[in-house]
Amino acid sequence: MINCIMCGKTIKDPTPRQKACSECSTDYHRECARQYRIVHPITPEKNKEYQKKSKMKQEIKLTKAQIEKQRKRQEKKEQNAKDKAWRAFCVNRDNNECVICKRKGRLNVHHLLPKEKYPQYRHQVWNGISLCVYHHRWGKNAPHHDSIGFVAWLLNNRKGLVEFIIKILDGETNRWIAKK
């Protein structure tokens, strides 16, 4: 039997290291921690050292799959940042309006060369064109609905751009043929 060092109550059957009763134990531990911090303050250098050790332990515990997942997540963040910058540049270049109907407001930026098929041209500013939602998805000459009509519109209104894309694709074809 011992007495609680906080309130003086008698503790029956204490554990070997117990110094406070169950009602006072939380306060006792808080006070001990406060006293310890006074005697052993954590300096900024020491805190950085603790953080570095903690980070190293976390990195060691990561599996290959987790590392790969983190790498992919980081690549996705970088890709999203590039996509936003590319979109903003294209919309600004097209005076914040649909190039077909001149409607302002909610605009989509369409990739002239599909980003899945030509990932190397995904963020090239010439590969983007600003379209309103109607002309991007459903309307007359919409690239996702009437691709032939859209190409015809491009030939009539952006002939220089179409010729430029044809030269690029011709170069791609020549590289592909040379590989075979």
Tell me which amino acid residue 45 is: E
62-84 per-position pLDDT tens digit: 778 888 898 999 999 999 999 99
> Given pLDDT bands bounded at 50, 70 and 90, which one contains residue 178?
low
**Cα 178 versus chain centre, distance:** 38
What DSSP designation does 107 have?
E
C-alpha span between 124 and 134 (Å, rounded) = 24
C-alpha span between 38 and 32 (Å, rounded) = 10
**Are 1 and 12 a contacting pair, CB within 8 Å?**
yes
C-alpha span between 152 and 142 (Å, rounded) = 11
C-alpha span between 165 and 73 (Å, rounded) = 32
Which residues are within 8 A (CB) of 134 and not within 5 positions of it... i.e. 6 or more apart?
101, 103, 142
pTM check: above 0.85: no
89-144 per-position pLDDT tens digit: 999 999 999 999 999 989 999 999 888 888 899 999 999 999 998 888 887 778 88
Torsion of CA 9, 10, 16, 20, to 10 degrees: 0
Of 75, 88, 78, the C-alpha closest to 125 is 88
- Other CB atoms within 10 A of residue 110 CB: 20
